Protein backbone atom coordinates (compact mmCIF):
# COMPACT_ATOMS: atom_id res chain seq x y z
CA UNK A 1 0.00 0.00 0.00
CA UNK A 2 1.30 3.44 -0.87
CA UNK A 3 0.65 6.33 1.49
CA UNK A 4 -2.21 8.71 0.70
CA UNK A 5 -0.21 11.75 1.64
CA UNK A 6 3.38 12.76 1.13
CA UNK A 7 5.40 15.70 2.38
CA UNK A 8 8.28 16.92 0.28
CA UNK A 9 10.85 18.85 2.32
CA UNK A 10 10.87 21.31 -0.59
CA UNK A 11 9.91 21.44 -4.25
CA UNK A 12 12.26 22.73 -6.94
CA UNK A 13 11.13 23.58 -10.46
CA UNK A 14 14.23 23.50 -12.64
CA UNK A 15 12.58 25.16 -15.67
CA UNK A 16 9.70 27.62 -15.54
CA UNK A 17 8.36 30.56 -17.54
CA UNK A 18 6.92 33.35 -15.41
CA UNK A 19 6.83 36.10 -18.06
CA UNK A 20 5.74 39.39 -16.48
CA UNK A 21 2.57 37.87 -15.08
CA UNK A 22 2.23 38.53 -11.37
CA UNK A 23 -0.42 35.89 -10.73
CA UNK A 24 1.63 33.28 -12.58
CA UNK A 25 4.74 34.09 -10.57
CA UNK A 26 2.70 33.77 -7.36
CA UNK A 27 1.40 30.32 -8.36
CA UNK A 28 4.94 29.00 -8.67
CA UNK A 29 6.03 30.64 -5.40
CA UNK A 30 3.04 29.10 -3.63
CA UNK A 31 4.26 25.50 -3.98
CA UNK A 32 7.92 25.72 -4.87
CA UNK A 33 10.88 26.78 -2.73
CA UNK A 34 12.93 27.74 -5.76
CA UNK A 35 12.74 27.71 -9.52
CA UNK A 36 15.04 28.20 -12.47
CA UNK A 37 13.39 31.06 -14.34
CA UNK A 38 13.64 31.13 -18.14
CA UNK A 39 14.78 34.29 -19.94
CA UNK A 40 12.79 34.21 -23.21
CA UNK A 41 10.78 37.35 -22.59
CA UNK A 42 10.39 40.20 -25.06
CA UNK A 43 12.72 41.96 -24.65
CA UNK A 44 14.84 39.02 -23.55
CA UNK A 45 16.79 38.74 -20.30
CA UNK A 46 20.38 38.81 -21.51
CA UNK A 47 22.59 41.03 -19.33
CA UNK A 48 23.35 41.29 -15.61
CA UNK A 49 21.17 44.43 -15.49
CA UNK A 50 18.25 42.57 -17.10
CA UNK A 51 18.61 39.65 -14.71
CA UNK A 52 18.82 41.91 -11.66
CA UNK A 53 15.75 43.89 -12.67
CA UNK A 54 13.74 40.75 -13.53
CA UNK A 55 14.70 39.04 -10.30
CA UNK A 56 13.50 42.09 -8.33
CA UNK A 57 10.29 42.13 -10.35
CA UNK A 58 9.66 38.47 -9.48
CA UNK A 59 10.28 39.06 -5.78
CA UNK A 60 7.88 41.99 -5.75
CA UNK A 61 5.27 40.04 -7.76
CA UNK A 62 5.39 37.02 -5.48
CA UNK A 63 5.31 39.22 -2.36
CA UNK A 64 5.47 37.98 1.22
CA UNK A 65 2.65 35.40 1.24
CA UNK A 66 4.61 32.43 -0.05
CA UNK A 67 8.09 33.01 1.28
CA UNK A 68 10.57 31.52 1.21
CA UNK A 69 10.76 31.52 -2.57
CA UNK A 70 14.00 31.91 -4.49
CA UNK A 71 14.00 32.68 -8.21
CA UNK A 72 17.24 31.36 -9.72
CA UNK A 73 17.91 33.36 -12.81
CA UNK A 74 19.06 32.59 -16.34
CA UNK A 75 20.13 34.67 -19.31
CA UNK A 76 19.41 34.08 -22.97
CA UNK A 77 22.43 33.29 -25.13
CA UNK A 78 22.69 35.08 -28.48
CA UNK A 79 25.05 34.48 -31.39
CA UNK A 80 26.82 37.68 -30.29
CA UNK A 81 26.85 37.14 -26.50
CA UNK A 82 30.43 38.02 -25.63
CA UNK A 83 32.32 35.78 -23.20
CA UNK A 84 33.28 38.97 -21.28
CA UNK A 85 29.65 39.66 -20.33
CA UNK A 86 29.59 36.44 -18.33
CA UNK A 87 31.77 37.91 -15.62
CA UNK A 88 29.04 40.29 -14.47
CA UNK A 89 26.35 37.62 -14.76
CA UNK A 90 28.44 35.39 -12.53
CA UNK A 91 28.70 37.95 -9.73
CA UNK A 92 26.59 37.97 -6.59
CA UNK A 93 23.59 40.03 -5.56
CA UNK A 94 24.71 42.40 -2.85
CA UNK A 95 21.81 41.84 -0.46
CA UNK A 96 20.98 38.16 -0.87
CA UNK A 97 24.48 36.89 -1.60
CA UNK A 98 23.02 34.79 -4.42
CA UNK A 99 24.59 34.46 -7.83
CA UNK A 100 23.05 36.95 -10.28
CA UNK A 101 22.51 34.17 -12.84
CA UNK A 102 23.00 30.44 -12.44
CA UNK A 103 22.65 29.42 -16.08
CA UNK A 104 22.61 30.53 -19.70
CA UNK A 105 19.93 29.24 -22.04
CA UNK A 106 20.30 28.40 -25.72
CA UNK A 107 17.18 28.44 -27.89
CA UNK A 108 17.32 26.89 -31.35
CA UNK A 109 16.43 29.44 -33.99
CA UNK A 110 12.75 29.58 -34.82
CA UNK A 111 11.70 26.46 -32.94
CA UNK A 112 9.78 27.83 -29.96
CA UNK A 113 8.32 30.92 -28.31
CA UNK A 114 10.49 34.00 -28.86
CA UNK A 115 13.26 31.99 -30.51
CA UNK A 116 13.27 33.77 -33.87
CA UNK A 117 16.63 35.23 -32.84
CA UNK A 118 17.93 31.90 -31.50
CA UNK A 119 21.01 29.86 -32.33
CA UNK A 120 21.84 28.07 -35.60
CA UNK A 121 25.57 27.61 -35.24
CA UNK A 122 26.40 25.91 -31.92
CA UNK A 123 30.09 25.68 -32.67
CA UNK A 124 30.37 29.45 -32.91
CA UNK A 125 29.41 29.49 -29.21
CA UNK A 126 32.35 27.35 -28.11
CA UNK A 127 34.39 30.29 -26.72
CA UNK A 128 31.33 31.21 -24.65
CA UNK A 129 30.87 27.63 -23.43
CA UNK A 130 34.54 27.55 -22.46
CA UNK A 131 34.07 30.63 -20.30
CA UNK A 132 30.86 29.23 -18.77
CA UNK A 133 32.73 26.05 -17.92
CA UNK A 134 35.44 28.08 -16.21
CA UNK A 135 32.98 30.21 -14.25
CA UNK A 136 30.73 27.31 -13.23
CA UNK A 137 27.66 28.64 -15.05
CA UNK A 138 25.24 25.92 -16.15
CA UNK A 139 24.35 25.59 -19.84
CA UNK A 140 20.65 24.91 -20.46
CA UNK A 141 19.89 23.58 -23.91
CA UNK A 142 16.55 23.46 -25.65
CA UNK A 143 17.59 20.31 -27.46
CA UNK A 144 16.08 20.44 -30.92
CA UNK A 145 18.11 20.74 -34.10
CA UNK A 146 17.20 23.86 -36.06
CA UNK A 147 17.13 24.14 -39.85
CA UNK A 148 14.94 22.95 -42.70
CA UNK A 149 16.55 19.56 -43.15
CA UNK A 150 14.90 17.93 -40.14
CA UNK A 151 11.23 17.08 -39.61
CA UNK A 152 9.62 18.31 -36.40
CA UNK A 153 9.31 14.96 -34.65
CA UNK A 154 12.97 14.14 -35.31
CA UNK A 155 14.50 17.39 -34.15
CA UNK A 156 15.28 16.20 -30.62
CA UNK A 157 16.99 12.96 -31.63
CA UNK A 158 18.83 14.84 -34.38
CA UNK A 159 20.18 17.25 -31.76
CA UNK A 160 21.82 14.51 -29.69
CA UNK A 161 24.98 14.50 -31.82
CA UNK A 162 25.46 18.16 -30.99
CA UNK A 163 24.86 17.40 -27.31
CA UNK A 164 27.52 14.69 -27.32
CA UNK A 165 29.95 16.98 -29.10
CA UNK A 166 29.45 19.85 -26.65
CA UNK A 167 29.58 17.55 -23.61
CA UNK A 168 32.80 15.89 -24.78
CA UNK A 169 34.42 19.21 -25.65
CA UNK A 170 33.67 20.69 -22.22
CA UNK A 171 33.92 17.91 -19.64
CA UNK A 172 33.55 20.32 -16.70
CA UNK A 173 30.64 22.30 -18.10
CA UNK A 174 27.36 21.37 -16.42
CA UNK A 175 24.76 20.89 -19.14
CA UNK A 176 21.01 20.41 -18.78
CA UNK A 177 19.11 19.12 -21.77
CA UNK A 178 15.72 20.64 -21.10
CA UNK A 179 12.29 19.02 -21.28
CA UNK A 180 13.37 15.79 -22.97
CA UNK A 181 10.66 13.93 -24.89
CA UNK A 182 12.28 10.87 -26.44
CA UNK A 183 13.66 7.48 -25.49
CA UNK A 184 16.77 8.41 -27.50
CA UNK A 185 17.36 11.43 -25.26
CA UNK A 186 16.97 9.32 -22.10
CA UNK A 187 19.57 6.89 -23.43
CA UNK A 188 21.94 9.70 -24.39
CA UNK A 189 21.74 11.28 -20.92
CA UNK A 190 22.49 7.90 -19.34
CA UNK A 191 25.51 7.42 -21.58
CA UNK A 192 26.95 10.87 -20.99
CA UNK A 193 29.06 11.62 -17.90
CA UNK A 194 27.88 13.21 -14.64
CA UNK A 195 28.10 16.76 -15.95
CA UNK A 196 25.07 16.19 -18.19
CA UNK A 197 21.52 15.96 -16.85
CA UNK A 198 17.98 16.43 -18.15
CA UNK A 199 14.75 17.97 -17.00
CA UNK A 200 11.45 16.20 -17.52
CA UNK A 201 8.08 17.96 -17.46
CA UNK A 202 4.87 16.63 -15.89
CA UNK A 203 2.93 16.89 -19.14
CA UNK A 204 5.42 14.78 -21.09
CA UNK A 205 4.84 11.99 -18.57
CA UNK A 206 1.17 12.09 -19.52
CA UNK A 207 0.81 13.06 -23.20
CA UNK A 208 1.64 11.48 -26.50
CA UNK A 209 1.55 13.09 -29.93
CA UNK A 210 -2.01 11.79 -30.36
CA UNK A 211 -3.17 13.95 -27.44
CA UNK A 212 -1.99 17.00 -29.35
CA UNK A 213 -3.39 16.36 -32.82
CA UNK A 214 -4.39 12.72 -33.10
CA UNK A 215 -8.09 13.32 -33.65
CA UNK A 216 -8.87 16.93 -32.87
CA UNK A 217 -6.31 19.68 -32.40
CA UNK A 218 -5.81 20.32 -28.69
CA UNK A 219 -3.87 23.55 -28.40
CA UNK A 220 -3.50 23.37 -24.61
CA UNK A 221 -1.50 20.16 -25.07
CA UNK A 222 0.76 21.76 -27.65
CA UNK A 223 4.26 22.65 -26.54
CA UNK A 224 7.79 22.43 -27.82
CA UNK A 225 9.25 19.90 -28.02
CA UNK A 226 5.98 18.27 -28.94
CA UNK A 227 5.00 15.06 -27.07
CA UNK A 228 6.12 11.94 -28.96
CA UNK A 229 5.18 8.25 -29.01
CA UNK A 230 3.99 5.91 -26.25
CA UNK A 231 7.38 4.20 -26.16
CA UNK A 232 9.02 7.60 -25.57
CA UNK A 233 6.58 8.40 -22.78
CA UNK A 234 7.35 5.04 -21.15
CA UNK A 235 11.07 5.80 -21.27
CA UNK A 236 10.49 9.23 -19.69
CA UNK A 237 8.40 7.74 -16.89
CA UNK A 238 11.05 5.10 -16.23
CA UNK A 239 13.72 7.79 -16.09
CA UNK A 240 11.68 10.03 -13.78
CA UNK A 241 10.91 7.26 -11.27
CA UNK A 242 14.30 5.55 -11.61
CA UNK A 243 15.98 7.38 -8.74
CA UNK A 244 18.79 8.39 -11.11
CA UNK A 245 19.90 11.91 -10.14
CA UNK A 246 20.52 12.85 -13.79
CA UNK A 247 16.77 13.25 -14.31
CA UNK A 248 14.89 15.91 -12.40
CA UNK A 249 11.74 17.95 -12.61
CA UNK A 250 11.45 21.08 -14.71
CA UNK A 251 7.81 21.91 -15.35
CA UNK A 252 8.39 24.03 -18.46
CA UNK A 253 5.13 25.61 -17.34
CA UNK A 254 4.63 28.14 -20.14
CA UNK A 255 1.58 30.40 -19.87
CA UNK A 256 0.04 32.07 -22.92
CA UNK A 257 -3.19 34.09 -22.87
CA UNK A 258 -6.25 32.07 -23.88
CA UNK A 259 -6.67 33.90 -27.20
CA UNK A 260 -3.08 33.09 -28.19
CA UNK A 261 -3.74 29.38 -27.61
CA UNK A 262 -7.26 29.04 -28.99
CA UNK A 263 -6.56 30.34 -32.50
CA UNK A 264 -4.84 29.35 -35.72
CA UNK A 265 -1.04 29.24 -35.38
CA UNK A 266 -1.33 28.98 -31.60
CA UNK A 267 1.69 29.54 -29.37
CA UNK A 268 3.65 26.60 -27.99
CA UNK A 269 3.45 26.10 -24.23
CA UNK A 270 1.54 24.13 -21.61
CA UNK A 271 0.62 25.87 -18.36
CA UNK A 272 1.07 23.48 -15.43
CA UNK A 273 2.55 25.47 -12.52
CA UNK A 274 -0.44 25.32 -10.13
CA UNK A 275 -1.09 21.60 -10.69
CA UNK A 276 2.38 20.29 -11.43
CA UNK A 277 2.96 18.58 -8.09
CA UNK A 278 -0.44 16.80 -8.04
CA UNK A 279 0.19 15.65 -11.62
CA UNK A 280 3.53 14.20 -10.58
CA UNK A 281 1.96 12.54 -7.52
CA UNK A 282 -0.57 10.84 -9.81
CA UNK A 283 2.11 9.50 -12.14
CA UNK A 284 4.45 8.43 -9.34
CA UNK A 285 1.64 6.67 -7.44
CA UNK A 286 0.49 4.87 -10.56
CA UNK A 287 4.01 3.50 -10.92
CA UNK A 288 4.45 2.68 -7.26
CA UNK A 289 7.18 5.27 -6.79
CA UNK A 290 5.71 8.02 -4.62
CA UNK A 291 8.69 7.64 -2.27
CA UNK A 292 10.94 8.86 -5.11
CA UNK A 293 9.01 12.06 -5.76
CA UNK A 294 10.90 14.21 -3.23
CA UNK A 295 14.20 13.62 -5.02
CA UNK A 296 12.80 14.02 -8.53
CA UNK A 297 10.92 17.23 -7.74
CA UNK A 298 13.48 18.60 -5.31
CA UNK A 299 16.78 17.13 -4.25
CA UNK A 300 18.23 16.03 -7.58
CA UNK A 301 17.74 19.40 -9.27
CA UNK A 302 19.14 21.27 -6.32
CA UNK A 303 22.14 18.93 -6.20
CA UNK A 304 22.94 19.32 -9.89
CA UNK A 305 22.67 23.11 -9.79
CA UNK A 306 24.50 23.12 -6.46
CA UNK A 307 22.40 25.98 -5.16
CA UNK A 308 21.45 26.87 -1.62
CA UNK A 309 18.03 28.32 -0.83
CA UNK A 310 15.61 28.38 2.06
CA UNK A 311 13.23 25.45 1.94
CA UNK A 312 9.52 25.16 2.66
CA UNK A 313 7.80 21.79 2.98
CA UNK A 314 4.86 21.00 0.74
CA UNK A 315 2.30 18.29 1.51
CA UNK A 316 0.35 16.41 -1.15
CA UNK A 317 -2.80 14.57 -0.19
CA UNK A 318 -4.87 12.04 -2.08
CA UNK A 319 -8.12 13.98 -2.41
CA UNK A 320 -10.05 14.84 -5.55
CA UNK A 321 -9.47 18.23 -7.10
CA UNK A 322 -11.10 19.73 -10.17
CA UNK A 323 -8.64 21.73 -12.25
CA UNK A 324 -9.97 25.27 -12.79
CA UNK A 325 -10.95 26.35 -16.32
CA UNK A 326 -8.70 29.38 -16.14
CA UNK A 327 -6.14 31.11 -13.97
CA UNK A 328 -6.32 34.82 -14.70
CA UNK A 329 -6.87 34.45 -18.45
CA UNK A 330 -4.57 31.44 -18.85
CA UNK A 331 -6.05 27.99 -19.45
CA UNK A 332 -4.19 25.32 -17.48
CA UNK A 333 -3.31 21.84 -18.67
CA UNK A 334 -6.29 19.44 -18.32
CA UNK A 335 -8.68 22.32 -17.49
CA UNK A 336 -11.93 21.07 -15.96
CA UNK A 337 -10.63 17.55 -15.38
CA UNK A 338 -10.30 15.83 -12.04
CA UNK A 339 -7.06 14.91 -10.30
CA UNK A 340 -6.86 12.51 -7.42
CA UNK A 341 -4.10 14.44 -5.60
CA UNK A 342 -3.90 18.01 -4.44
CA UNK A 343 -1.60 20.27 -2.49
CA UNK A 344 -2.66 20.76 1.11
CA UNK A 345 -3.07 24.52 1.46
C1 LIG B 1 8.01 27.83 -24.03
C2 LIG B 1 7.42 29.24 -23.90
O3 LIG B 1 6.22 29.42 -24.16
O4 LIG B 1 8.16 30.15 -23.52
N5 LIG B 1 7.13 27.03 -24.82
C6 LIG B 1 7.08 25.68 -24.90
O7 LIG B 1 6.34 25.17 -25.73
N8 LIG B 1 7.80 24.91 -24.12
C9 LIG B 1 9.40 27.91 -24.60
C10 LIG B 1 10.19 26.64 -24.49
O11 LIG B 1 10.63 26.25 -23.42
O12 LIG B 1 10.38 25.99 -25.54
ZN1 LIG C 1 10.56 26.26 -21.53
Q: Tell me: domain 13-276, CATH 3.20.20.140, correct?
A: yes
Task: Report pTM.
Answer: 0.98
Q: Please state, in angstroms and rounded to a whole number, the distance separating the CA atoms of residues 123 and 268.
A: 27
> Residue 23: helix, strand or coil by DSSP?
helix
With the most atoms of ligand 1 within 8 angstroms of its CB, the residue from 13, 14, 15, 17 to mutate is: 17
Domain ranges of the chain: 13-276
Rounded to whole angstroms, how far apart are CA atoms 153 and 296? 26
| 198 CA to centre of ligand 1 in angstroms | 16
Q: Of ligand 1's atoms, which has the minimum distance to the CA of residue 223?
A: 7
Closest atom of ligand 1 to 17 CA is 4
Q: What whole-number distance in Å separates Cα of residue 304 and Cα of residue 194?
A: 9
List, as residue ranges, the binding site for substrate: 17-19, 40, 142, 256, 268
Pairing of strands 5-8, 314-317: antiparallel
Q: What is the pLDDT along the chain (345 residues), one digit of tens a residue?
A: 778 999 999 999 999 999 999 999 999 999 999 999 999 999 999 999 999 999 999 999 999 999 999 999 999 999 999 999 999 999 998 878 899 999 999 999 999 999 999 999 999 999 999 999 999 999 999 999 999 999 999 999 999 999 999 999 999 999 999 999 999 999 999 999 999 999 999 999 999 999 999 999 999 999 999 999 999 999 999 999 999 999 999 999 999 999 999 999 999 999 999 999 999 999 999 999 999 999 999 999 999 999 999 999 999 999 999 999 999 999 999 999 999 999 998
CA of 250 to the centre of ligand 2 (A): 9
Amino acid sequence: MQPNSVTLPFAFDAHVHLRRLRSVARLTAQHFSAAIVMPNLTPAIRSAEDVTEYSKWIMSATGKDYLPFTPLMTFKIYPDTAPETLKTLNEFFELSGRQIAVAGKVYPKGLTTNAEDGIEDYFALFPLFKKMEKLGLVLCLHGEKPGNAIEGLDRESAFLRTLFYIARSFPDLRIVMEHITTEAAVEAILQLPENVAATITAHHLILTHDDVGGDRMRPHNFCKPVAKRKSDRTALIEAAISGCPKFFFGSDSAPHPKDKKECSECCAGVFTAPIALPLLAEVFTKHNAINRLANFAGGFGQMFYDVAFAEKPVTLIQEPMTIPQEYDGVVPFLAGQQLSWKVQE
